[in-house]
Amino acid sequence: MDTATPGAAGARSVFNADHEIFRTQVRRFFEREIVPYHREWERAEIVPREVWRKAGAEGLLCPVMSEEYGGAGADFGYAAVIIEEIARTNASGIGFPLHSDIVVPYVEEFARPEKKREWLPRMASGEIITAIAMTEPGMGSDLKAVRTTARRDGSDWIINGSKTFISNGQNCGLVIVVCKTDPGAGRKGISLICVEEGTKGFTKGRNLEKIGMHAADTSELFFDDVRVPAENLLGEENSGFSYLIRNLPQERLVIAIRAAMSMEVMLQKTIDYAKDRKVFGQTVFDFQHNRFKLAEQKANAVMFRVFADHCLALHMKGQLTIDMAATAKLLGTEMQNRLLDDCLQMHGGYGYMAEYEIGRAWADARVGRIYGGSSEIMKEIISRTL
Ligand SMILES: Cc1cc2nc3c(=O)[nH]c(=O)nc-3n(C[C@H](O)[C@H](O)[C@H](O)COP(=O)(O)OP(=O)(O)OC[C@H]3O[C@@H](n4cnc5c(N)ncnc54)[C@H](O)[C@@H]3O)c2cc1C
């Protein structure tokens, strides 16, 4: 079965035949609804909301969500298929995994029953696009230092503060805001509160201009005496930090899965290019230096494929640890950045042209070493287990 793996890693055992049938459906959707328009969306710096609704109608959003709320109740392998197809097509503006695999799980796990019934079906259909707002202008890596506050006022929460770099920030209909509900208590004073678009005092700032991932909307968000009902709190008051720690491994696995596929696909495209492009009367591939570079990167891509699939299999059994997920994110994004840089180099000047996929993939990938916890933070996490 074609999983876009060039083969050297051998047959992949993490997916079954049903996953591959689903992959065919996802691939058709991407070829029809996304690939032809993605460059246009890069120029517009946003993906139209309509695309989300089409994806929802095809069952491409929230595959893991329980059927009770409109999901497919599927295993995480189905989510991985979608993540891989995004990477395979370099559709870096498509924020489905952030929504389906990072934000919505908090709502499904921790929201009040009536809120689940109200929100989850609309999240599965693409009517509500979600975001999670942790980072602030003065704080990113050190999550416990958030300054945005939420205080109780009768049966409401009043939220004040600002967030930045929030993915899906322009498109979001609901954002989970990481707030301090007990400012003196550090990590034990953090709560997660949902804020819906249109709530008085909640404003979206500008769509931030980035060096890559141009079709992905990334925003500042402002909260000025935003009043939301107490039921918008996820789980228990002051337990938000522990929820984040528990769910962040899945976010890191998403990034690692993406890196593995991006490496395989862009390497293959570079091999094809190198075999075709002539310099000094021979192909770029004919030079031993270039063949060795490609061979070295092939070895990296194959090794990481095996490790990423191992982590995915562990996750599907509920056994992916925080440090293993950090290892996968660290290795995957660092390798991906080195590989794409070598691939870009082999394209010469064309590699630097935005119309070539390799240049865009190179710029898109750079953020992988920063978001979802930077490489340095991944090393911190791993080093705690030494
Ligand atoms: C495109 C994009 C999308 C994003 N999407 C979201 C989103 O949807 N939601 C959200 O909440 N955030 C999002 N972020 C924010 C992202 O998670 C943060 O940028 C990241 O966590 C780093 O935080 P910072 O930018 O404040 O850097 P800082 O924390 O200021 O770090 C600066 C440098 O110091 C290093 N450093 C920090 N701590 C240590 C340490 N202990 N040891 C050694 N070095 C250290 C960092 O690795 C980094 O190199 C996004 C960012 C980008 C660029």
pLDDT score at 1: 39
Cα 204 to averaged position of ligand 1 atoms, centre (Å):
20
| 379 close to ligand 1 (CB < 6 Angstrom) | no
Cα 31 to averaged position of ligand 1 atoms, centre (Å):
33
**Angle at which helices 76-88 and 240-276 cross, to 10°:** 40
CA distances from 287 to 142, 264, 278, 358 (A): 47, 21, 11, 21
Name the residues annotated as catalytic.
251
> Has residue 8 been placed in a domain?
no
Q: How many domains does the chain have?
A: 3
Residue nearest to atom 37 of ligand 1 (CA): 141
* CATH number of the domain enclosing 332: 1.20.140.10
> Distance from CA of residue 113 to its chain's centroid?
27
- Does residue 82 share a domain with residue 21? yes
What is the Cα–Cα distance from 129 to 248, expressed in whole angstroms?
19
Say what the alpha-carbon torsion angle 180, 183, 185, 189 is, to the nearest 10 degrees. -20
Phi-psi bin for 314: left (phi > 0), alpha (psi -120 to 50), beta?
Answer: alpha
Domain extent, residue 225, equals 130-238
Over residues 93-107, the mean pLDDT reads 98
Classified as helix, coil or strand, 297 is helix
Residue that is last in its domain, among 100, 124, 148: 124
pLDDT score at 4: 46
Which atom of ligand 1 lies nearest, measured to the CA of 133?
A: 11
Q: Check pLDDT > 70 for residue 255.
A: yes
- Does residue 348 share a domain with residue 256? yes
| 367 close to ligand 1 (CB < 6 Angstrom) | yes
- Does residue 196 share a domain with residue 99? no
9 confidence band (pLDDT: 50, 70, 90): low
CA distances from 173 to 127, 165, 209, 242, 358 (A): 8, 17, 21, 25, 33
| 166 close to ligand 1 (CB < 6 Angstrom) | yes
* CATH number of the domain enclosing 39: 1.10.540.10
Q: Tell me what the pLDDT averaged over the chain comes to.
A: 96
- Does residue 372 share a domain with residue 250? yes
Residue that is last in its domain, among 124, 158, 176: 124
pLDDT score at 11: 86
Which atom of ligand 1 lies nearest, measured to the CA of 169?
A: 8
> Has residue 322 been placed in a domain?
yes
Classified as helix, coil or strand, 299 is helix
Contact between 223 and 162 under an 8 Å Cβ cutoff? The reply is yes
What is the Cα–Cα distance from 332 to 343, expressed in whole angstroms?
16
> Has residue 4 been placed in a domain?
no
- Does residue 274 share a domain with residue 357? yes
| 68 close to ligand 1 (CB < 6 Angstrom) | no
> Has residue 10 been placed in a domain?
no
Residue nearest to atom 31 of ligand 1 (CA): 141
* CATH number of the domain enclosing 170: 2.40.110.10
Classified as helix, coil or strand, 219 is strand
Which atom of ligand 1 lies nearest, measured to the CA of 178?
A: 11
110 confidence band (pLDDT: 50, 70, 90): very high
Burial class, 231, CB count within 10 angstroms (exposed 0-12 / middle 13-18 / buried 19+) = middle
Q: What is the identity of the amino acid at 224?
A: D
What is the Cα–Cα distance from 142 to 160, expressed in whole angstroms?
19
8 confidence band (pLDDT: 50, 70, 90): low
| 383 close to ligand 1 (CB < 6 Angstrom) | no
Condensed to tens digits (0 to 9), the pLDDT of residues 338-386 reads: 999 999 999 999 999 999 999 999 999 999 999 999 999 999 999 999 9
